[in-house]
Amino acid sequence: MAGTPKKTNISRRGFLSSAVAGSAALVAGSNPLQAANPENMAPNVPDWSRYLGAGVAEQPYGMPSEFEKQVIRRNVPWLTASTESSVSFTPIHELDGIITPNGVCFERHHAGIAMVDPADHRLMINGLVDKPMMFTMEDLKRFPRVNKIFFLECAANSGMEWRGAQLNGCQFTQGMVHCVEYTGVPLKYILEEAGVKTNAKWLMPEGADAAAMNRSLPLEKALDDCLVAFKMNGEALRPEQGYPLRLVVPGWEGNLWIKWLRRIEVGDMPWQAREETSKYTDLMEDGTSRRFTWVMDAKSVITSPSPQAPITHKKGHTVISGLAWSGRGLIDYVDITLDGGKNWRRARIDGLRLPKALHRFYYEFDWDGSPLLLQSRAVDETGYVQPTKDELRTVRGTSSIYHNNGIQTWHVQENGQVENVEIS
Amino acid sequence: MLKFLKPALIALGLFAVIATPVVAGKLGIGREATPAEIKGWDIDVRPDGQGLPEGKGTVETGEELFQEKCAACHGEFAEGVDRWPVLAGGQDTLDSDRPVKTVGSYWPYLSTAYDYIFRAMPFGDAQSLSPDEVYALLAYILNMNDLVDDDFELSKSNFLTVRLPNEKNFIDDPRPDTPILAQKKPCMENCKTTVEITGRARIVDVTPDGEKGSN
C-alpha cells in the first residue's frame, strides 16, 4: 500500500467536552455550551476533512456518534431495591420526531431481562378454548401480519411527582414512555386457531421471565386491536422489550404489554394477579382503590427546553419542542403557555398523526430573555382535556402513584437554565 | 387519461394503507398443546380457587421457611428490609398521608398471594416452591397480619374461607374524572391575573454514576 492513509482521530478533547456537556446539563447553574476546538474551525481544515474515515462494516451493527454519548437511558437508584426489578427512563429530552430508537426505549423489568432462545420459545393458548394450542416463532410468522405505531407508557410515569415537583428532567418525570413501529400478528387470528368458547370474557397473558408476569385482559380489547409482536422499528424486539415475543395493548398501561409472552389463558373472570391488585391500582384519599385503570389519558410535555435541555443560545428565535399522546386515540391539538397559564397559544403538530401514538409538537417564538413558565396542554379527539396537577390532586389525593398525566411546568430562567416547578 | 387515472390510483393507494388482512376461519397453523405441557405451564390461581393444587401448611412450618427463604428481603416478621416490600401491618393507614400497602392491609384476595409467590418468588429462584411450602408461607404471612391464629393450617380445602379485609374497597375505574371539553372549554386568554411558583424540584441525586465527567 502506497503511503498509509491516516484515519480520522476523533479528538479526545472534543469527546470529553461533549460528555461533560451532557452531564453539565443536569446540574443547575452551569453552562452546557460545548467549547469548540479552534483547530477544527475555519479557516483551519479539521482532520475529518483531510483523512479517510472508517471503512464499511467497521461496526457491523452501527451505533450513534461518539458525540451522542449522553443520549442514554438512566435510572434513579433510590427508587427501587434492585436493578432487576426496576425501571430506566427514555431520554426524551434528546429525541425528536415520534419514533423512539430501540436502544433507548425505557425498560421496566420485574425479574431482570430474560434471555430467551427463539428456537426454544413457545406461545401456548389454553383455558376456555376448543383446542389448546402451541405455536413456535416460525408458526407465528405464518399468520398475516400488520405494522402499527403505538406509544407505550408505564402507568407510573410521573408517579414521583404526585406530592410535588421532585426530579429535574423530563427524562425522569415523563420518560417512562416510548413509541415504536411494531410488526406482529393481530391476537384475534391466534385465538381463532384455538377457538375461544362462548363463555370466555377474559385473557391472562403471561411472560416467560422469572416473574412470569401475568395480567388479566378483557377479551373485547384483545379482539379489538391487540397484537402479538416480534419486531420493533423493523428489527427483532430487543431482549429488554421482550424478545422474541411481546403483547401490544394499544393505549393501555405498559404493564399489560406482557414481554417474553409464553402463554395466554382464556377464562370467564379476571385473575386478580398481583400486578392488578397490590400494584397498578390507584389508592384514593378516602382509602378506596381504583382497579383495572387501563387506559392512559391524554398527556403532553415540553421536552426542550427542559431541565436537561436548557436554552443555550440566549435570547432570540427559539424552538419549543414537545410530545403529546392519548390512549383514547388521536391528539386533536396542543396549546402551550409561556407565562404560567395566563395566555395560551396553539402549538404546531408536525409529522405523522396516528391514534395511540406519540405526536410531536413545536412552537417557535422570539424569546426576549426574560423568565418563562412553560406548560403544554393536550386535548384528544374524544374531547379529553389534559388536567392540571392540582385538578388531579383535588379528585384523587396524592397517594395514587399511577396515572399522573397532569400539566408539567418548566421555569426557564434568564440564563436559559430550566427547573421543574409547580405554580399557583 | 392521466387526469382520470390519478384519483383512482390515490384511492387504491389509500386502500392499500388502511386495509387489514382478512382472515376467515382457522389457518391450520400450530399444533395442539399436550396435557403434560399445559400441566407444566398452567400455574395461575384465581380468587374462586381455580388452579389451587392439593396441599397444606401451618403457621409454624411457614415461619421456619420464611426465615430461610424470604426474611433477607421481607424481614423476620414480614416487615420489609430497605426498599423491599412490606408484607405485614399497615392496617388503617390507607387513608393516611403515608399508606402502607401489605397483604393484610391492601391486597384484596389471598389467591393473588398464592399465584404470585409460586410464579415469582423467591426472587431469583421462581417456581421452586412446593404447594405445601406455598400454603405454609401464606399461613405465616396471614398470621403476621393478625388474620389467623398461631395454630392455623391453610390448605386447599379451607383456602376460600379466608377473606382479606380490604377486598370491599376496590372500585371500578371512573375516569375521566376531570372536566372534559364538553363540560369546560379550556381558557385561552387572560386566564389568571397572577402566577406564583409554589414548589421547586428538590435537589435529589438523579445523576447516575458515569455521568459525572467523561463516561
> What are the C-alpha distances in Å from A6 to residues A3, A161, B105?
9, 52, 69
pLDDT (tens digit, 9 = 90+) per residue, A172-183? 999 999 999 999
Query: In this complex, do B126 and A211 lie within 8 Å of one another by their Cβ atoms?
Result: yes
Q: Which residue of B has its CA nearest to A272?
A: B112
Helix (H, G, I), strand (E, B) or coil at A235: strand
Q: Give B204 or A142, the one with higher predicted confidence.
A: A142
A-chain CB neighbours of B177 within 8 Å are 395-396
C-alpha cell belonging to residue B136: 405454609
- β-strand pairing of B170-172 with A289-291: parallel
Q: Edge-to-edge strand order for the sheet containing A299-304?
A: A299-304, A316-325, A359-367, A348-350
> Mean per-residue pLDDT for A227-253?
98
- Chosen for mutation from B117, B178, B202 (greatest number of chain A CBs closer than 10 Å) is B178
Which conformational region is residue A16 in: left (phi greater than 0), alpha (psi within -120 to 50 degrees), or beta? Answer: alpha
Amino acid at A59: Q
Identify the pLDDT of residue B205: 53
> What are the C-alpha distances in Å from A387 to residues A1, A176, A422, B157?
68, 19, 14, 49
Identify the pLDDT of residue A10: 41
**B196 within some domain:** no
- Chain B closest CA to A204's CA: distance in Å? 9
- Cis? peptide before A43, omega within 30° of 0: yes
**CA gap A125, A249 in Å, rounded:** 17
Query: In this complex, do B112 and A273 lie within 8 Å of one another by their Cβ atoms?
Result: yes
Closest CA to A68 of A19, A111, A136, A132: A19
> What are the C-alpha distances in Å from A59 to residues A54, A70, A366, B67?
9, 20, 42, 51
**B71 within some domain:** yes
In this model, does residue A18 exceed pLDDT 90?
no
Residue span of the structural domain in which B139 resides: 55-168
**B69 within some domain:** yes
For chain B, 215 residues long, the average pLDDT of each consecutive 10-residue run is 47 52 86 98 98 98 98 97 96 96 98 98 98 98 98 98 98 97 96 96 58 35
| Beta carbons of A322 and A334 less than 8 angstroms apart | yes
Q: Which residue of B has its CA nearest to A263?
A: B41
**B215 within some domain:** no
**B32 within some domain:** no
> What are the C-alpha distances in Å from A345 to residues A58, A98, A342, A363?
48, 22, 10, 9
pLDDT (tens digit, 9 = 90+) per residue, A317-341? 999 999 999 999 999 999 999 999 9
Closest CA to A374 of A406, A343, A407, A337: A337
- Chosen for mutation from A328, A385, A408 (greatest number of chain B CBs closer than 10 Å) is A385
Whole-complex ipTM: 0.90
Closest CA to B126 of A120, A208, A342, A3: A208
pLDDT (tens digit, 9 = 90+) per residue, A404-414? 999 999 999 99
Helix axis angle, B110-120 to B131-144, nearest 10°? 130
**B157 within some domain:** yes
B-chain CB neighbours of A107 within 8 Å are none
**CA gap A50, B21 in Å, rounded:** 53
- Chosen for mutation from B46, B50, B107 (greatest number of chain A CBs closer than 10 Å) is B46
Identify the pLDDT of residue B204: 56
Residues in chain B: 215
A to B CB pairs, distance under 8 Å: 278
Closest CA to A233 of A170, A150, A301, A314: A150
Which conformational region is residue A234 in: left (phi greater than 0), alpha (psi within -120 to 50 degrees), or beta? Answer: left
Q: Which residue of A has its CA nearest to B126?
A: A210
| Beta carbons of A40 and A15 less than 8 angstroms apart | no
Query: In this complex, do B211 and A74 lie within 8 Å of one another by their Cβ atoms?
Result: yes
- B160: domain CATH number is 1.10.760.10
In this model, does residue A152 exceed pLDDT 80?
yes
Distant-in-sequence, close-in-space partners of A367: CB < 8 Å, separation ≥ 6 = A311, A315, A316, A317, A318
Identify the pLDDT of residue B179: 95
Could you say which DSSP state residue A155 is in?
A: T
Query: In this complex, do A81 and B82 lie within 8 Å of one another by their Cβ atoms?
Result: yes
| Beta carbons of B31 and A134 less than 8 angstroms apart | yes
Confidence of residue A13 (pLDDT cuts 50, 70, 90): very low
Q: Which residue of B has its CA nearest to A114?
A: B124
Domains of chain B: total: 1
Identify the pLDDT of residue A381: 98
- Domains for chain A: give ranges and CATH numbers: 108-290 (3.90.420.10), 299-421 (2.60.40.650)
Q: Annotate A388-409 with DSSP letters as a single string.
A: PHHHHHHHH-S---S---PPPE
**B22 within some domain:** no
Q: Give B211 or A98, the one with higher predicted confidence.
A: A98
C-alpha cell belonging to residue A33: 455550551
- Chain B closest CA to A20's CA: distance in Å? 5
Closest CA to A312 of A14, A34, A77: A34
**B214 within some domain:** no
Confidence of residue A17 (pLDDT cuts 50, 70, 90): very low
**CA gap B184, A360 in Å, rounded:** 25
